[in-house]
């Protein structure tokens, strides 16, 4: 189905934003070139290169292209108007390492086995599983990965297949200073290339620049949350240090979270405002980058994918950050710009999963996989048809451990609008047709029983498969890794203190 807000209208309506001067080049979107792009539907230019961008912790509804009303993402909305928008894309887990590894392997976390650092059973990827960058490198691509570190570290297996790999924890603007010269060199080389860009730019603690706070944070807040690094430092310096045993960024992070009252609607709304301001800042940085790429002609023969590993919660289900699997956490953006902006404005309604990304991208790049186990399926046929070409809806299996030392204890099975939610054995059924936020459990025992049975049988099948792909290697935390995780602000926090403060007891990423 082609969206009513196809390219020509995207600038005026679909984006819903106020494009900044940093915006994605409005080069073609409204004029003759967009008409040309629409006419190219069904005959996309050959995809030669791939740019995969993951904005860690980006909620789908933060984007105007997905119905967001805050006008925080004019550039991403403009991009969406020139891309194919998957309206129903889902992660398998709300954590950085396992979610990204599902994109890279086409295997759900239960099979690839990679978990966040410092969690029970965390392991690096088995050498027997080949990742997207490895496959593309073998096919002759020039490859580079630029990640924000933390749980997208090379030590988990994310560096495999990348000839250039940078997992320094740094802001998006600093990272882009490294990405752009690499892209320039790759373009000049004549080789096909793959670039992976991951950023924690919108991840907590939400400390956006002041001008974005002015634009997106409602005035009159009188709670205790401090919204700038300087304010937190000032509080600490004046003796009001709520995390005296911590240091560096970790001290900042927990002085931030210890001031949050999760029972306060005002605090939840304020946090969401601050997050939205950070999203708008990210949108401006990324928009300027995309504008330069498009102006340089990079998009003419490149697939550009923008997605996220999971969303974020602001009290919708009684928590903050990302430690559950309800819709605000599991639904992810998935924008795919085809070479020459072919298929621009198309919106695909049928559900897809992170595990479907690898087979789809390989098909688009005309690269053969190595023949090993993949559980995702390509959606490339859907692009020609403008909708799913399958009779069965793709179900999405989710899983999560709600504490770093706990076994897996949250499981979900999504089938179309239905979600079976199993939290430590407590089963609930949600139906987003009547209940978009998944807050009112449905009393439908027959459906519930069917989905629960399906969940158990899929889990059992995956457990068998996980033994066939080989297990990974346990992660030993080196002093260097520990120092870096501490610098990123999410290690060695006293869990009881966190529970007392009402914050998450997971590591946050
Ligand atoms: Zn993440």
Instruction: Give 146 Cα–ligand 1 centroid separation in angstroms.
Output: 15
Q: Determine the Cα–Cα distance for residues 273 and 213; give it in Å rounded to an integer.
A: 8
Ligand 1 centroid to 94 CA: how many Å? 7
Separation CA 257–CA 216 (nearest Å): 20
Distance 43 CA to ligand 1 centre (A): 35
| Distance between Cα 95 and ligand 1 center (Å) | 5
Q: Which secondary structure element, helix H or strand E, spans residue 413, and what is its range? A: strand 410-415
What does the alpha-carbon distance between residue 91 and residue 413 come to, in Å, rounded to a whole number? 12
Distance 508 CA to ligand 1 centre (A): 8
Distance (Å) from CA 150 to ligand 1 centroid: 9
Contact of 103 with 354, CB cutoff 8 Å: yes
Å from CA of 195 to ligand 1 middle: 19
User: Read out DSSP for 158-199?
Assistant: TTTT-SEEE-----HHHHHHHHHHHHHHHHHH-S-EEEEEEE
pLDDT range class, residue 242, cuts 50, 70, 90: very high
More confident residue, 121 or 418: 418
Task: Give me ligand 1 centre to Cα 185, in Å.
Answer: 29
- Residue 446 Cα, ligand 1 centroid: separation in angstroms? 35
pLDDT digits (tens, 9 = 90+) for 256-276: 999 999 999 999 999 999 999
173, pLDDT greater than 70: yes
Ligand 1 centroid vs 92 CA: distance in angstroms?
12
Q: Write down the pLDDT at residue 483.
A: 62
If pLDDT is split at 50, 70 and 90, which confidence band does 63 have? very high
* pLDDT band, very low/low/confident/very high, at 43 (cuts 50, 70, 90): low
Does residue 38 carry a pLDDT above 80?
Answer: no
Expressed in angstroms and rounded, the spacing between residue 312 Cα and the centre of ligand 1 is 9
Confidence tier at 122 by pLDDT (50, 70, 90) = confident
- Report the separation in Å between the CA atom of 495 and the middle of ligand 1, taken as the mean of its atom positions: 20
pLDDT at 482: 66
Q: Which residues contact 154 (CB under 8 A, 6 or more apart)?
A: 165, 167
The alpha carbon of 97 and the centre of ligand 1 are apart by a number of angstroms equal to: 7
Phi, psi (5° rounding) for residue 200?
-95, 20
* 116 Cα: distance to centroid of ligand 1 (angstroms): 10
Residue 509 Cα, ligand 1 centroid: separation in angstroms? Answer: 5
Query: 4 versus 135: which is more confidently predicted?
Result: 135
Distance 387 CA to ligand 1 centre (A): 29
Radius of gyration of the chain (CA): 22
* The predicted structure's pLDDT at residue 484: 58
* 500: exposed, middle or buried (Cβ count in 10 Å: 0-12, 13-18, 19+): exposed
Q: What is the pTM of this model?
A: 0.88
Residue 248's pLDDT is: 86
Say what the pLDDT of residue 26 is. Answer: 36
Judged against a pLDDT cut of 60, whether residue 255 lies above it is answered with: yes
Q: What domains does the chain contain, in order, with CATH numbers?
A: 7-206+264-471 (3.40.720.10)
6, pLDDT greater than 80: no
User: pLDDT tens, 446-485?
Assistant: 999 999 999 999 999 888 888 877 666 666 667 766 665 5
C-alpha torsion sign, points 467, 468, 471, 472: negative
Q: Per-residue confidence at 36, pLDDT binned at 50, 70, 90?
A: very low
Backbone angles phi, psi at 30, to 5 degrees: -110, -5
pLDDT of 301 over the 90 cut? yes
Q: Which residue has the higher pLDDT, 39 or 450?
A: 450
pLDDT of residue 7: 27
CA of 323 to the centre of ligand 1 (A): 11
pLDDT band at 45 (very low <50, low <70, confident <90, very high): low
Cα–ligand 1 centroid distance for 115 (angstroms): 12
pLDDT at 398: 97
HEC string for 38-78: HHCCCCCCCCCEEEEEEECCCCHHHCHHHCCCCCCCHHHHH
Neighbours of 291 (CB within 10 A): 20
Cα separation, 168 vs 150, whole angstroms: 8
Which pLDDT score is estimated for 487? 52
Alpha carbon of 155 to ligand 1 centroid (Å): 16
Q: Cα of 463 to ligand 1 centre, how many Å?
A: 24
DSSP 2: B
> How far is the centre of ligand 1, averaged over its atoms, from the C-alpha of 9 (Å)?
33
Is 210:228 a contact under the CB 8 Å cutoff? yes
Checking if the pLDDT of 1 tops 60, the result is no
Distance from the alpha carbon of residue 174 to the mean position of ligand 1, in angstroms:
19
Q: pLDDT of 192-202, one tens digit each?
A: 999 999 999 99
Q: What is the mean pLDDT of the chain?
A: 86
Q: How are beta strands 89-90 and 331-332 bridged, if at all?
A: antiparallel
Whole-number Å distance, alpha carbon 131 to ligand 1 midpoint, is 19
pLDDT band with cut points at 50, 70 and 90 for residue 441: very high
Helix, strand, coil percentages (3-state) for the chain, rounded to 5, are 40, 15, 45
Average pLDDT value for residue range 325-341: 97
Which tens digit of pLDDT belongs to each residue from 150-160? 999 999 999 99
Distance 104 CA to ligand 1 centre (A): 15
How would you class 401 by CB atoms within 10 Å of its CB: exposed for 0-12, middle for 13-18, buried for 19 or more?
A: buried
């Amino acid at each position: 189905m082609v969206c009513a807000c196809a390219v020509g209208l995207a600038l005026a309506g679909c984006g819903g934003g106020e494009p900044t001067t940093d915006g994605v080049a409005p080069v073609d979107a409204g004029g003759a070139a967009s008409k040309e792009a629409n006419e190219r539907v069904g005959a996309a230019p050959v995809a030669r290169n791939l740019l995969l961008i993951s904005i860690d912790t980006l909620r789908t509804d933060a984007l105007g292209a997905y119905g967001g009303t805050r006008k925080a993402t004019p550039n991403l909305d403009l991009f969406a108007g020139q891309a194919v928008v998957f309206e129903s894309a889902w992660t398998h887990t709300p954590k950085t390492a396992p979610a990204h590894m599902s994109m890279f392997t086409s295997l759900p976390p239960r099979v690839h086995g990679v978990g966040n650092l410092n969690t029970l059973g965390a392991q690096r990827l088995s050498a027997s599983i080949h990742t997207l960058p490895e496959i593309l490198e073998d096919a002759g691509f020039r490859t580079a990965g630029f990640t924000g570190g933390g749980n997208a570290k090379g030590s988990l297996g994310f560096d495999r297949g990348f000839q250039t790999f940078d997992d320094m924890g740094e802001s998006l603007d600093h990272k882009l200073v490294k990405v752009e010269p690499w892209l320039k060199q790759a373009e000049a080389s004549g080789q096909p290339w793959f670039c992976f860009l991951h950023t924690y730019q919108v991840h907590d603690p939400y400390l956006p620049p002041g001008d974005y706070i002015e634009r997106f944070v409602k005035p009159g807040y009188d709670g205790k949350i401090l919204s700038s690094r300087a304010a937190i430092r000032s509080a600490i310096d004046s003796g009001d240090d709520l995390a005296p045993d911590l240091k560096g960024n970790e001290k900042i992070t927990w002085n931030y979270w210890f001031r949050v009252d999760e029972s306060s609607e005002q605090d939840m709304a304020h946090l969401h405002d601050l997050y939205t301001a950070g999203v708008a800042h990210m949108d401006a940085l990324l928009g300027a980058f995309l504008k330069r790429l498009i102006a340089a002609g990079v998009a003419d023969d490149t697939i550009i994918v923008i997605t996220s590993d999971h969303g974020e919660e602001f009290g919708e289900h009684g928590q903050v950050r990302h430690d559950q699997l309800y819709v605000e956490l599991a639904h992810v953006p998935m924008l795919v710009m085809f070479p020459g902006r072919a298929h621009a404005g198309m919106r695909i309604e049928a559900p897809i999963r992170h595990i479907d990304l690898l087979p789809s991208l390989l098909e688009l790049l005309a690269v053969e996989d190595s023949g090993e186990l993949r559980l995702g399926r390509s959606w490339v046929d859907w692009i020609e048809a403008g909708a799913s070409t399958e009779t069965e809806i793709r179900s999405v299996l989710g899983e999560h451990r709600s504490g770093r030392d706990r076994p897996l204890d949250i499981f979900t099975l999504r089938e179309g609008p239905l979600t079976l939610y199993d939290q430590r054995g407590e089963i609930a059924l949600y139906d987003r047709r009547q209940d978009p936020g998944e807050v009112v459990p449905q009393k439908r025992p027959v459906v519930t029983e069917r989905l629960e049975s399906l969940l158990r049988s899929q889990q059992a099948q995956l457990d068998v498969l996980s033994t066939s792909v080989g297990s990974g290697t346990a992660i030993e935390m080196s002093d260097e890794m520990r120092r870096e995780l501490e610098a990123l602000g999410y290690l060695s926090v006293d869990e009881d203190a966190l529970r007392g403060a009402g914050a998450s007891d997971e590591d946050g990423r």
